[in-house]
Amino acid sequence: MIKAGILGATGNVGQRFVQMLAGHPWFEITALAASERSAGKPYEEVAKWRLDTTMPEEVRKMKVVPTKPEAMDVDIVFSAMPAEEALKVEADFAKAGVIVSSNASSWRMEKDVPLMIPEVNPEHLGLIDVQRKKRKWDGAIVTNPNCSTIMMVVTLKPLMKFGIENIHVSTMQAVSGAGYEGVPSMAIVDNMIPFIGKEEEKMESETLKLLGSLEKGQVRDAPFWVSAACHRVAVLDGHTMSVWLRAKKNPSPEDVRKAFEKFNPKLSDLPTSPEKAIIVRDEPDRPQPRLDRMQGNGMSVSVGRIRAGHDNAIKYVLMGHNTIRGAAGASVLNAELLKKKGFL
């Protein structure tokens, strides 16, 4: 078994890591790290469990440790740390020879750091050799994108063959994406907030890196642009998005539907990979977060309402589970790919 630690283990995404790694066939949780005030205490004492499942027995009595490489006997760490803290801490682990599979945004846009979705750009793992040579460390940092970006890009990958020219996207994002105390109830109940800090910028930049090509040790951005508008809505889990795109080959709605249905990245040998990365819904009022967020154990992206728009545009709606497919599950799937490729 591969020894795994979780950084930021008490938070929303950290708890998802615990949930997804407990009983995993390849990874064994050997360390849970959190703030200094939690260190030395049993996990069940400091983690206010907020998921709709029971806290795994194997972690209840586990003592929380400081977020330092010397405090953890691990081969890999899964990071759910805040971005401002992750910048230094994740580098410390990489210098110590540990693989870091990170959900934090700190390192995503660094030129030598893979920004990964295994179904989309597995070849970008080639940046690890560049990273190790440049930074002179034996470990490595591999990141997954912003939660909304992940779901959208999974649906864009099979449409790249049509020659995408531009994309407009409007998101309706669940409150869990802001963390347990991120949006006060008096702010979101009976309300919608038309701003999420840095979210639009992340979608517009990360998408181009993910769908870009790896050439001579660096990623060349995809040759189109993205315009995003992001909104927080009163939904617990599950980000929904409306997408408008234009492509050079002017695909029909049926062309797009077939591309979604045929998308088969062949990751069946990775335990967290869903049977279908994209599930097409035919009902006129689907996908919906409450009905569709747990498709593929929360790892599938659901699409629906595929239709033609003005001036040869294609329109569709997509939805995915933001703390599973868009966060912890994405990092776990990246780690499974790392193992498959021999980095673990």
Catalytic residues: 147, 239
Strand partners, 25: none
Residues 196 and 199: their CA atoms lie apart, in Å, by 6
Residues 329 and 323: their CA atoms lie apart, in Å, by 7
Peptide bond connecting 56 to the previous residue in cis, omega within 30 degrees of 0: no
For 293, list phi and psi in degrees, rounded to 5.
Answer: -65, -25
Which spans in 96-198 are helix H? 127-135, 147-156, 185-188
Alpha-carbon distances of 332 from 6, 33, 130, 329, rounded to whole Å: 11, 17, 23, 5
Which spans in the chain are helix H? 12-21, 43-46, 57-60, 83-95, 127-135, 147-156, 185-188, 199-210, 253-262, 289-292, 329-340
Strand partners, 27: 2
CB atoms within 10 A of CB 167: 21
Retrieve residue 255's tokens: 């062309």
**Inter-residue contact 138 to 132 (CB < 8 Å):** yes
Residues 268 and 337: their CA atoms lie apart, in Å, by 11
Q: How would you list the strands of the sheet with 76-79, edge to edge?
A: 64-66, 27-34, 2-7, 76-79, 99-102, 140-143
Helix 329-340 vs helix 12-21: crossing angle, to nearest 10: 50
Residues 102 and 79: their CA atoms lie apart, in Å, by 5
